[in-house]
Amino acid sequence: MENVKSGQMVISNLVAATSILAVIRNSIQRTPYVSRSTLYVKAVSGELDGSPIVRETLLMVKKASSDLLYQILEMLSALKERSFPIDVVTYQRELDSLIKENANETPLRSQHDVRNNTLRTTIVAQKVELSKQRSTLSEQDTAYSELIGRFHDDIESYFTNTLISPQSMVLSEVLLYDLRSPHSETFAPKPRFVIERSLSSPHDYLNCSCCFSPEAGKDEVQFQLSQ
């Protein structure tokens, strides 16, 4: 009973994590759209743990500007997912404070944003070499980079702990139906099985009284089957 209860909690958190992942991806317009139902099927099949979808989402979060992070936090706050352990309100307060302190009207940038990188040209042995160099960040951008870094680490830890393979749980077959071939065994035609069953149990198809007796009516049964 304890394993069943803990398994139900794991499944509940898994479903909640797919909602969180869908909200974050829908907030970032540059990511390809993935429906929530697709994420759910991948989650219960154990395909989301460390998947390219999760890695791409985390990378976009790390590069997010302040206006995009504000939108993500707003949507997470509106979702009101009880099992979500991250304190969204605290992040919103810290972000609002940084935005108010920002003298410029442009959004705050993360240190991982490619727009904060510049190309440096050097000549070595009459060959031109290009190297990336990180631009000097302002005090507000540095503080924002620390904020977005903590949020990224919290989201990554949350997905790592929740997007686990359900098949690794005790009694997983009781909690989840096998999604690999849910309908093939029921609806796929099986002519060999049907013929073998009709020969071994003709009454299931002929519905005649003679088939009840193993000795009576053999000729009639064989004649009807041949027809």
Cα angle at 167 between 164 and 170, to 5 degrees? 105
The answer, yes or no, to whether residue 223 has pLDDT greater than 50, is: no
pLDDT of residue 156: 93
Continuous H helices in the chain: 2-27, 36-44, 52-62, 66-79, 88-101, 139-162, 172-175, 184-187, 191-200, 203-206, 218-226
217 confidence band (pLDDT: 50, 70, 90): very low
- Determine which of 14-18, 24-28, 54-58, 134-138 has the lowest per-residue pLDDT on average: 134-138
Contact 50/102 with Cβ under 8 angstroms? no
* Closest C-alpha to 70, from 87, 86, 92: 92
For residue 121, list its beta bridge partners: 130
The CA distance from 15 to 38, in Å, is 12
pLDDT of residue 119: 43
For residue 119, list its beta bridge partners: 132
Question: Within its chain, how far is the Cα of 215 from the centroid?
Answer: 61
Tell me the average pLDDT of the chain.
78
Q: Are strands 117-124 and 127-134 parallel, antiparallel or unpaired?
A: antiparallel
pLDDT of residue 117: 46
State both tokens at 102.
């920002």
Report the amino acid identity of residue 85. Answer: P
State both tokens at 29.
């317009």
pLDDT average, residue stretch 129-148: 72
- Determine which of 6-10, 40-44, 215-219 has the lowest per-residue pLDDT on average: 215-219
Backbone angles phi and psi of 17, in degrees to 5? -65, -35
The answer, yes or no, to whether residue 151 has pLDDT greater than 90, is: yes
The answer, yes or no, to whether residue 192 has pLDDT greater than 90, is: no
pLDDT of residue 153: 93
216 confidence band (pLDDT: 50, 70, 90): very low
State both tokens at 80.
């009101």
| Per-residue CA distances from 108 to 86, 95, 105, 154 (Å) | 22, 10, 9, 20
pTM over 0.75, yes/no? no
